[in-house]
Amino acid sequence: MAGGFDQLIANMQSMGFFQFLFPFLLALAILYGVMSLTLRDRLPKSAMGVISLVISFFVMLYSSWNTMIVQFFANISGTWLIVASGILFVLILLGLTGFKMDELFKNDKAKWITILVVVFIGILIFFGAGGGMFFNLPLTSDFWTILFFVAILAIVVFWMGQEGDKGAPASTPH
């Protein structure tokens, strides 16, 4: 029996916390954080705060029109938790076997492959949580097959491009 938590969540849902307040607060934090990072020397904090606040109110208006935003955030948060737990479990197993993560990042190719894998996982989480409803993409099995093929080609081309002609002698001008 969950007790008070069921009632707490039900009250928060009926009061619009998930539909209005949380998207508003998330947008406010993201917008202010991005502007603080990128416009630090160009705009005063008060202007960044007002701009963030106004745009966040428009996000709240959008979320009143689009009730799917609650489902999207619930799905993406839950999926993220599952993926993060899986990654943590794998890291624990690697640590128990003596694998050192800092050794992995000594190689430039390994850094880029890791970044690409993380971006790919992020894209899968986004679309798995229903993010595809914001795009008019043909999300059929053919689409995913083509996307997988293009990703493999991009990795191979990147990998081959990094090799270069290290063994070839440098040509000297005559």
How confident is the prediction along the chain (174 residues), in pLDDT tens digits per residue? 557 778 888 888 888 888 888 888 889 999 999 999 998 888 888 899 899 999 999 988 988 888 888 888 888 788 888 888 877 887 777 777 777 777 666 767 667 777 777 777 777 777 776 666 666 666 666 776 777 777 877 777 776 666 554 555 555 555
Write down the domain spans for the chain: 12-66, 68-162
CA–CA dist 145, 162 (Å, integer): 26
Closest CA relative to residue 156, chosen from 100, 109, 111: 109
Residues 6+ apart with CB under 8 A from 64: 19, 20
Q: What is the pLDDT of residue 37?
A: 92
Q: Which of 116, 122, 50, 37 is nearest to 84 (CA)?
A: 122
User: What's the pTM value of the predicted model, to 2 decimals?
Assistant: 0.54
